[in-house]
Amino acid sequence: MNTKLATSQIRLKNWAAIIQDRKQSGLSVNDYCSQHQLSRDAYYYWLRKIKENLLVESGFVEVAPPVPFPVQKVQPSDSKEMMQLCFQGMQLDIPLSVSRDTLLMIIEVAAHAQ
């Protein structure tokens, strides 16, 4: 086994223990990471890696559905310019004035909606 792979496996096991500890603690990710001087980005990076590893070990491969984001302008009755996002059977009318961060959050939440 090469050293890079061995190091990655060790980190994977260490982070799996950290993630398990966080779940058992009942704390939010933000609170847990803050209390343990951990990067929130690193936490989610390793959570994703652990999930990918479990899928590979089980013989399953995660397939993300295509996420088309057709956007068109619509003119509602109150004359504010709106955009319309249609995907996964949903239609969202969002003001064009919405901030980039808010729009990204809306898209992320909607993409995970069932």
26-68 residue pLDDT tens:
999 999 999 999 999 999 998 998 888 877 776 665 566 666 6
Q: How far is CA 66 from the centre of its chain?
A: 15
Q: Which of 85, 108, 83, 110 is nearest to 98 (CA)?
A: 83
Predicted pLDDT at 99: 84
| Assessment of whether the complete model's pTM goes beyond 0.75 | no
**At a CB cut-off of 8 Å and minimum separation 6, what does 60 contact?**
none
* Domain regions of the chain by residue span: 3-58, 71-112
